[in-house]
Amino acid sequence: MFVAATFLTFTTSLVSAQAPLPLRDCFGHNEHATTDIQFARCVVCATPRLEAMGSQWAPHGIILDCASNTPLSPASTAIAKTLVEYGNRMGVFWENASLATVCLDHLVAHMPRRDAMKLSSDTFIDFLFEHVRYAIASRIHGHAWATDIPLPIFLDYVLPYAFLDEKRDIEFKWRPRFNRLLMPLVVGTANVTAAMHIVAKAVPSAQLTGGDSVMCSSATTPGAPPPAQCAPIHWRSETSPMNMSPEQVAAFGGSCTGTAITMAAAARSVGIPIRSAFCSCLASFIHELLTSAPLSLPHLKCLGILIFNEEFLPN
């Protein structure tokens, strides 16, 4: 939750005001020739309130030089500083402003174009701020093992708000939901492995729909009945790529990709570094099928691969 501050005056004497750069001019009339980070810079420069934060209202001079083709600093760094300053003006409390800048720099530097185009939206900016603030909180106020995670690992595997090309749950707020749900359970764990065991046990019985996250069945207090209308996360075959985000999986169930993303999101919410990794064992499976003893249909299902109809299985 972010508090909007009311500002009576702005100091404009630091640098002279300049008009926001039209988006078409920033692209040089060829949007497709830009890189993703150039695209992000153009979107920010074409957004008046953000361009102003990086130019005439920047406390230490120009941050985001939209009028120049040779920026004063890397675009991701300039955008990150601009966003931090915008957050300051909007009443966002940065527990560690320097780390917040590093986090936003990392997110912007690796942001796909589908997300960069949303940088003009306050809703998406709040979404970024929320992930940054909760990730930093898990690092600063988390467990002893969380504070020992190297910064590059934290930036790559704790901070990011997405895993693949799933829907961005901008309003669902999966990180604070999971954080409220799981942080009390992992308090006092000795290491990241012990914490992950708790998360893995808790997530399948988590009910995430509605205003707050609650636990169902075995995850509730021993002997207590499950919450009313409790619908835990459940497996639903063949639902990717339609349902892959935590919000979609919570509402409709998910198959391997969706449940993997949901589990990974839960882990990140408490500071566990994690990613979704997929591998293809088709080639090795076929080699095993052709060179070893015949495999039964249940064996194939156990492997998670069913590429033959039952009648084509070897005798």
Q: Which amino acid is at 109?
A: A
pLDDT (0 to 100) of residue 307:
41
Instruction: Say whether the peptide bond before residue 20 is cis (omega within 30 degrees of 0).
Output: no
- Per-position DSSP letters for 51-91, written without gaps between them: HHHHTTT-BTB-S--TT-SS-SS-HHHHHHHHHHHHHHHTT
Helix boundaries (H) for the chain: 23-27, 36-45, 48-54, 75-89, 97-109, 113-116, 122-140, 144-147, 151-157, 174-186, 192-202, 246-252, 256-269, 282-291, 297-303
Q: How far apart are CA 241 and CA 201, in angstroms?
A: 25
**How far is Cα 27 from Cα 41, in angstroms, rounded to an integer?**
10
84, 64 contact by CB (below 8 A): no
Three-state secondary-structure class, residue 102: helix
pLDDT value at residue 263: 92
Q: Which residues pair with 215 in a beta bridge?
A: 206
Q: How many residues does the chain have?
A: 315
- Mean pLDDT of residues grouped by 10 in the chain (315 residues)? 32 37 56 75 88 73 70 80 92 93 96 93 96 95 88 96 93 91 91 93 73 45 46 74 86 85 94 83 55 54 41 38
Six token digits for residue 287: 């080699």
Cα(17)–Cα(51) distance, integer angstroms: 10
Q: What is the pTM of this model?
A: 0.75
Buried b (16+ CB within 10 A) or exposed e, 125-160: bbbbbbbbbbbbbbbeebbebbeebeeeebbebbbb
Which pLDDT value is given to residue 32?
56
Q: Residue 218's pLDDT is what?
A: 36
Burial class (CB in 10 A: 0-12, 13-18, 19+), 185: middle
C-beta separation of 258 from 248 below 8 A: yes
Q: How far apart are CA 166 and CA 169, in angstroms?
A: 9
For residue 87, give every residue at least 6 positions away whose Cβ sits within 8 Å of its Cβ, in sequence order, or none: 2, 94, 100, 125, 129
